[in-house]
Structures are given as structure tokens and as C-alpha cells.
């Protein structure tokens, strides 16, 4: 793939217009197995090139104003981010858990929280991550 085209697609997906991101999310785990590798490859490229932007975009799409389909996919993708990207959005994840109804989205967010806790060095603590684990 042409690197300029890839860069253009990544900028569109992570940009202010919501449609490219929604299209990307709907293609990430498509029913067609032929589209899935391309979507996974693009997601991995975004994680490497701009982990903060993809993390913030995923968290933004957890909000109730978005369709449950997109929210579930974003929640699942969050725990596939690097620990450093998750750390950037940890307070947002904790806030989202406190507002969310029990269900699949909560389960995916709790997996993300466990990933964060598991990655914390023994000499550091993130006490704000523990209450959500015990309240659900």
C-alpha cells in the first residue's frame, strides 16, 4: 500500500469527522474474513504511529450518544492498546465504567483495567483502578 494513502486514511480515521472512524470500526471485525486482516493491520499501524489519538478516539466512542455496536467494538479494542496508551486514558476508562450499565461493554473495560493493573510495577500503585473492579 502507498504510504501517502495509508497516512491519509489514518488521518481521516482519527480526524474530527466521525464517519471514517465509524466505517473503520464496522470493518474491524467484519463478517467477511477477507476484510478483517486489512482492518487489523490498519489498527496496528495507528497503535504504533499515534497511540494517544486512537486511544482517545476509542474512549470517545464509548459514550451513550453512539450506537451500542460501535461502543462494544471500541471497548474491546481498548485492551488491545499498549499499556502506555491505556495509561493515558485510565481515568477516562474508570469514569466510563462508573456510568455504564452492566453488560459486554463493562466486561471489556474491566479487562482493560486488569491489563493496566497487571502492568503496574510493584513500586507504583493506581488505587483509582481498584474500586471499579469491586463494584461490578
Judge contact between 49 and 87, C-beta under 8 A.
no
Say if residue 122's pLDDT is above 70: no
Q: What percent of the chain has pLDDT over 70?
A: 84
| pLDDT at residue 14, rounded to an integer | 93
pTM comes to: 0.78
| pLDDT at residue 12, rounded to an integer | 94
Q: Please state, rounded to an integer, the average pLDDT across all residues of the chain.
A: 81
| pLDDT at residue 53, rounded to an integer | 92
Q: What are 35's three cell numbers? A: 476484510
Judge contact between 78 and 43, C-beta under 8 A.
no
Average pLDDT estimate for 67-95: 83
Q: What are 63's three cell numbers? A: 459514550
Amino acid at each position: 500500500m502507498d504510504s501517502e494513502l495509508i497516512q491519509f486514511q489514518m488521518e481521516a480515521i482519527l480526524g474530527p469527522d466521525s464517519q471514517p472512524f465509524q466505517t473503520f470500526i464496522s470493518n474491524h471485525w467484519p463478517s467477511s474474513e477477507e476484510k478483517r486482516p486489512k482492518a487489523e493491520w490498519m489498527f496496528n499501524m495507528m497503535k504504533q504511529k499515534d497511540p494517544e489519538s486512537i486511544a482517545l478516539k476509542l474512549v470517545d466512542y464509548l459514550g451513550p450518544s453512539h450506537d451500542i455496536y460501535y461502543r462494544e467494538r471500541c471497548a474491546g479494542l481498548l485492551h488491545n492498546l499498549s499499556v502506555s496508551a491505556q495509561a493515558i486514558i485510565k481515568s477516562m476508562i474508570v469514569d466510563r465504567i462508573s456510568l455504564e450499565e452492566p453488560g459486554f461493554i463493562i466486561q471489556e473495560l474491566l479487562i482493560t483495567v486488569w491489563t493496566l493493573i497487571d502492568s503496574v510495577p510493584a513500586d507504583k500503585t493506581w488505587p483509582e483502578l481498584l474500586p471499579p473492579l469491586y463494584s461490578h
